[in-house]
């Protein structure tokens, strides 16, 4: 999702990847809710490629830019937490209200499938306490589990950095342990506080992003106090090796349903590889338009709000005369609508909140 970066250090090519990932996630849930399947075509849900794993890219990006910013070393936990929570929670809370309203209308109209309407679930989700194993799985606007886990990852990251600084331990060690823990949770799939398959997905990729940024800052930039991961440039030889490897893995994903270790290859080669190629390779200079930065800013709003808007779309379809429109047309229109709506919510909510946070 959107990251707070200074304008001179914004990596617009990463914003481009965020936009693409957001579109695929929206289409993934749109197809699930619509309940349709293309035989012989590209399926965003139920196909050979699992587009839901695009969420992992957002965790990777968030971890990378958290280390690159390196702000938590000087901040007290209270300010650190309030800054993160103020940026993440309000949109989730508002989207929950909208989702419950649309779910209530959906159920009154007897539209299938019936949707959950739950006051406890709404409160739990609005506070971003879902998906981390503390409460049961009565969630509202379920895709927002990402926000809860992301907030948890930020808190753990803060604790790791502070403890490592105090005891003079290399942060790479606990970061690596968090990745191992995340992988274990993904395979074991427990349902314990802070130990769920969802937190596992976050731990894996967020802290892998942390390690990427840490190594780049330490070994990939000039040995000065002002060295930054933003200034790193990928070697052309590494670029030449990465492209065919990534393309080969993606082709295998789209052609072989039971491709061995498909998830691990996506998490630790494809997504990090694309991040490096677009962010620090020759493609970086091809995405210098501020348009990508503006679109990247609203990807969080698009993600948080696409759930209730999909429900609203179903209500409108139910109440209007049936018109035969190709699915790809309705998909495209919905994606366009989501980015326009996301821009509106960004302007109305995110911009004022960011100004308020900076004043504090």
**DSSP one-letter string for 150-208:** HHHHHHHHHHHHHHHHHHT--THHHHHHHHHHHHHHHHH--EETTEEHHHHHHHHHHHH
For residue 104, what is the enclosing H or E element?
Answer: helix 77-108
pLDDT tens, position by position, for the chain (360 residues)?
A: 644 444 456 899 999 999 999 999 999 999 988 877 777 677 887 777 888 899 999 999 999 999 877 666 667 888 889 889 999 999 999 999 999 999 999 999 999 888 989 999 999 999 999 989 888 767 889 899 999 999 999 999 999 999 998 999 999 999 999 999 999 999 999 989 999 999 999 999 999 999 999 888 877 654 444 445 666 788 888 899 999 999 999 988 888 767 667 788 999 999 999 999 999 988 888 888 899 999 999 999 999 999 999 999 999 999 988 777 888 899 999 999 999 999 999 999 999 988 887 776
Q: Cβ neighbours of residue 159 under 8 Å, at least 6 residues apart?
A: none
E strands, 261-330, are none
Cα–Cα distance measured from residue 216 to residue 68, given in angstroms and rounded to the nearest whole number: 9
> Among 303, 213, 343, which Cα is nearest to 18's?
303
What does DSSP assign to residue 286? G
Domain spans of the chain, in order of start: 7-359
Cα–Cα distance measured from residue 280 to residue 287, given in angstroms and rounded to the nearest whole number: 11
Give me the residue label for tokens 């061995």: 260
Structure tokens at 214: 């840490």
Cα–Cα distance measured from residue 23 to residue 35, given in angstroms and rounded to the nearest whole number: 18
Query: Exposed, middle or buried by CB within 10 Å (0-12, 13-18, 19+), for 12?
Result: buried
Whole-prediction pTM: 0.91
């Amino acid at each position: 999702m959107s990251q707070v970066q200074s304008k001179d250090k914004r990596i617009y090519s990463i914003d481009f990847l965020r936009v693409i990932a957001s579109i695929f996630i929206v289409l993934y849930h749109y197809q699930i809710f619509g309940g349709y399947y293309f035989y012989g075509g590209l399926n965003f849900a139920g196909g050979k490629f699992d587009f839901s794993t695009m969420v992992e890219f957002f965790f990777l990006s968030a971890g990378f830019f958290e280390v690159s910013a390196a702000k938590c070393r000087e901040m007290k936990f209270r300010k650190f937490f309030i800054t993160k929570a103020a940026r993440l929670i309000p949109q989730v809370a508002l989207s929950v209200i909208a989702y419950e309203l649309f779910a209530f209308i959906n159920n009154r109209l007897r539209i299938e499938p019936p949707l959950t309407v739950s006051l406890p679930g709404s409160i739990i989700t609005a506070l971003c306490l879902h998906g981390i194993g503390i409460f049961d799985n009565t969630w509202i606007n379920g895709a927002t589990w990402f926000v809860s886990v992301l907030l948890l990852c930020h808190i753990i990251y803060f604790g790791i950095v502070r403890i490592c600084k105090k005891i003079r331990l290399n942060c790479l060690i606990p970061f690596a342990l968090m990745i191992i823990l995340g992988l274990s949770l993904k395979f074991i799939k427990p349902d314990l506080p802070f130990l769920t398959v969802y937190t596992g997905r976050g731990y894996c990729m967020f802290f892998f992003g942390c390690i990427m940024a840490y190594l780049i800052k330490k070994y990939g930039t000039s040995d000065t106090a002002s060295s930054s991961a933003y200034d790193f440039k990928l070697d052309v030889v590494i670029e030449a090796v990465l492209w065919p490897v990534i393309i080969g893995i993606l082709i295998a994903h789209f052609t072989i349903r039971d491709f061995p270790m498909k998830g691990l290859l996506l998490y630790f080669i494809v997504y990090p590889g694309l991040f490096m190629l677009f962010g620090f390779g020759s493609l970086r200079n091809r995405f210098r338009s501020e348009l990508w930065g503006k679109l990247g800013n609203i990807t969080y709003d698009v993600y948080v709000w696409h759930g209730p808007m999909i429900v609203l779309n179903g209500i409108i379809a139910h109440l209007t005369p049936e018109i035969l429109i190709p699915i790809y047309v309705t998909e495209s229109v919905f994606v366009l609508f989501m980015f326009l709506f996301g821009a509106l919510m960004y302007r109305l909510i995110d911009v004022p909140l960011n100004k308020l946070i900076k004043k504090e």
